[in-house]
Amino acid sequence: MALGIGSAGARIVSALSKETTLVDRFAYLSCDPADLESVDGGEKLLIEGPIDQKLTPAMVRGLSIRYQSEMRRLVEGAKVVFIVAGLGRATGSGLAPVVAELAKDSGADTVSIAVMPFGFEEKLRFYAGLALRRLRGVSRGVVVVDNDTLLKSTSDATLKEIYDLANSEAVTALGSLLSRQSDDSIPVGLNKVLGTVFEDGYSFLSSASSGSVDKTEEALSRAVIGISKRAETKEANHAVVVLTGDSALRAGETATAVKRLGSMFGNGAIDVEYSVSYRGGSQLQVSVLASGFKATRYDEYDPLASLRTVMDDSMEYSLPSGLEGVPSCE
pLDDT at site 329: 46
CATH number of the domain to which 29 belongs: 3.40.50.1440
Domain count, the chain: 1
pLDDT band at 106 (very low <50, low <70, confident <90, very high): very high
Give per-residue pLDDT as tens, 172-209. Answer: 888 888 888 888 889 899 999 999 999 889 999 998 88
pLDDT at site 150: 57
pLDDT at site 169: 77
Q: Give the per-residue SS3 of 208-223.
A: EEECCCCHHHHHHHHH
Query: Is the residue at 326 inside a domain?
Result: no
Long-range pairs of 159-167 with CB within 8 A, sequence gap ≥ 24: 162/118, 163/8, 166/115, 167/8, 167/11, 167/12, 167/15
Amino acid at 84: V
Query: Is the residue at 286 inside a domain?
Result: yes
Contact 173, 242 (CB under 8 A): yes
Buried b (16+ CB within 10 A) or exposed e, 307-324: eeeeeeeeeebbbbeeee
Predicted confidence (pLDDT) at residue 56 exceeds the cutoff of 70: yes
Query: Is the residue at 313 inside a domain?
Result: no
pLDDT above 70 covers a percentage of the chain that reads 92
Query: Is the residue at 319 inside a domain?
Result: no
pLDDT band at 310 (very low <50, low <70, confident <90, very high): very low
* 87 vs 320, higher pLDDT: 87
pLDDT at site 154: 57
Predicted confidence (pLDDT) at residue 250 exceeds the cutoff of 50: yes
What does the DSSP 8-state code read for residue 248? T
Task: In whole angstroms, give the CA distance from residue 280 to residue 258.
Answer: 19
Task: In whole angstroms, give the CA distance from residue 305 to residue 128.
Answer: 13
Stated pTM of the model: 0.90
Predicted confidence (pLDDT) at residue 328 exceeds the cutoff of 60: no
Task: In whole angstroms, give the CA distance from residue 180 to residue 187.
Answer: 6
The DSSP-derived string for 49-114 is --SSS---HHHHHHHHGGGHHHHHHHHTT-SEEEEEEE-SSHHHHHHHHHHHHHHHHTTPEEEEEE
Query: Is the residue at 158 inside a domain?
Result: yes
Contact 301, 207 (CB under 8 A): no
Element (H, E) at 110: strand 109-116
Contact 312, 258 (CB under 8 A): no
Neighbours of 153 (CB within 10 A): 12
Residue span of the structural domain in which 35 resides = 2-308
Query: Is the residue at 314 inside a domain?
Result: no
pLDDT at site 153: 55
Give per-residue pLDDT as tens, 66-102. Answer: 999 999 999 999 999 999 999 999 999 999 999 999 9
pLDDT band at 121 (very low <50, low <70, confident <90, very high): confident
Query: Is the residue at 191 inside a domain?
Result: yes
